Amino acid sequence: MNSRPGCLGGLLQLALLRWVYGGLQRVFGFGSNSCLGCGCGMILLILFILVALSIIFGTDWTRLVMSPMVGI
């Protein structure tokens, strides 16, 4: 069964992700005007990119992480 979202569902997920990302950046990240904003902003940016790629390409990160441990 194909668990990838349709076009509209994927766009809505990306819009929600952008809204959450913008709010977090204003509070903790680059928009917070504090010296800790650089580090937190970079971490949020990396997480945003990973989640956005997961939505776009339908990647299941838990399956990728757990698959090498199956043979142990």
For the chain, report the end-to-end CA distance as a whole number of angstroms.
28
Question: Does the pTM of the predicted model rise above 0.95?
Answer: no
Which tens digit of pLDDT belongs to each residue from 47-63?
999 999 888 888 777 77
Element (H, E) at 66: helix 61-66
Per-residue model confidence (pLDDT) at position 8: 87
In whole angstroms, what is the distance from residue 68 CA to residue 72 CA? 8
Closest-CA residue to 10 (of 59, 61, 60, 56): 56
Percent over 70 (pLDDT), the chain: 79
State yes or no: pLDDT of 18 exceeds 90.
Answer: yes
